[in-house]
């Protein structure tokens, strides 16, 4: 099986979803769009994730990624590889090029062992990646859903100035038309924070694997003091036309 590639028939970049919500500064109703992350914003996207995701994501915050130069470099390199697949999406407000939110989407293939084989020098990055892969593998996604590929992600983030507007939900909702365009019948992601778990549930994601963080620690994952209770692998089945 050849590695997954974005279909050549799918225009790039394109808009996947548009919504109306409140403006961050005036509280007027404005339009937002969720679209493919264009190449000229790849590094801006990595910087956004470095600045906000690493601070807000429970495992990354607990393991103090922001104080780990090696870990910071390694996780940013993961995101740089992810965006090369040209699946990541970004949210913009109409008339602005400020990054409102991001979802670092990636397509995982049945025979793709690259992530599992990758070695990290940072113990924090190793713990984060190994825990995420453990949750994903426990879900037996390929076997249970009978797919060869599924849409996953290495991080969802909304700029602090644009939170409490339902935008995380709408960024996740953009996965539906994207999956249909790519011919993918499944999206699955490990969501570690209620701030992403609740929006995912609104879109239709279902719990596939649920683990308490204290139980994950007992299983040997060195995750530090996690401020939330549950880690969840959640799945969304897509009906292809």
Furthest C-alpha separation in the chain: 51
Asked whether the beta carbons of 151 and 184 are under 8 A apart, the reply is yes
Q: So what's the pLDDT on residue 26?
A: 82
Note whether residue 82 is domain-resident: yes
Residue 7 lies in a domain: no
Q: How many alpha carbons lie under 13 Å from residue 119 in its C-beta half-sphere?
A: 1
* pLDDT at residue 231, rounded to an integer: 99
Confidence grade of residue 111 (pLDDT, cut at 50, 70, 90): confident
**Residue 30 within a domain:** yes
Q: What is the pLDDT of residue 24?
A: 79
Is residue 142 a part of any domain in this protein? yes
Residue 208 belongs to some domain of the structure: yes
- Using the predicted structure, report yes or no on whether residue 63 has a pLDDT greater than 90: yes
Instruction: Compute the mean pLDDT over every residue in the chain, rounded to the nearest whole number.
Output: 95
| 2 within some domain | no
Check whether 50 has a pLDDT greater than 80. Answer: yes
CB 30 within 8 A of CB 23: yes
Provide the number of structural domains found in the chain: 1
Could you tell me the pTM of the whole model?
0.95
Q: Looking at residue 24, which CATH number applies to its domain?
A: 3.40.630.30
Q: What is the domain extent for residue 33?
A: 15-237
The answer as to whether 10 is a domain residue is no
Per-residue pLDDT at 116 exceeds 90: no
Q: Which residues of 195-222 are buried (b: 16+ CB within 10 A; e: fewer)?
A: bbbebbbebbbeebbebebeebeeeebe
**Per-residue pLDDT reduced to its tens digit, 181-220:** 999 999 999 999 999 999 999 999 999 999 999 999 999 9
Residue 66 sits at φ, ψ, to 5 deg, of: -65, -20
């Amino acid at each position: 099986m050849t590695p997954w590639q974005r279909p050549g028939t799918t225009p790039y970049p394109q808009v996947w979803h548009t919504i109306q919500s409140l403006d961050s500064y005036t509280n007027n109703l404005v339009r937002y769009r969720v679209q493919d992350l264009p190449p000229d914003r790849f590094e801006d996207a990595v910087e956004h994730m470095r600045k906000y995701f690493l601070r807000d994501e429970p495992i990354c915050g607990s393991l103090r990624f922001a104080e780990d130069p090696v870990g910071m470099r390694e996780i940013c390199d993961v995101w740089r590889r992810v965006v090369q697949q040209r699946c990541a999406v970004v949210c913009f407000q109409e008339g602005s090029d400020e990054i409102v939110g991001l979802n670092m989407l990636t397509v995982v293939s049945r025979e793709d062992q690259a992530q599992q084989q990758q070695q990290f020098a940072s113990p924090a990055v190793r713990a984060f990646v190994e825990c995420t892969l453990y949750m994903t593998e426990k879900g037996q996604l390929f076997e249970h859903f009978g797919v060869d590929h599924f849409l996953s992600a290495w991080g969802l983030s909304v700029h602090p100035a644009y939170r409490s507007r339902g935008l995380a939900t709408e960024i996740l909702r953009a996965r539906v038309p994207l999956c249909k365009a790519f011919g993918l019948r499944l999206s699955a992601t490990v969501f570690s924070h209620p701030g992403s778990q609740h929006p995912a549930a609104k879109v239709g994601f279902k719990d596939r694997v649920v683990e308490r963080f204290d139980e994950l620690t007992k299983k040997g994952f060195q995750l530090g003091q996690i401020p939330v209770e549950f880690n969840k692998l959640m799945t969304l089945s897509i009906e292809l036309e």
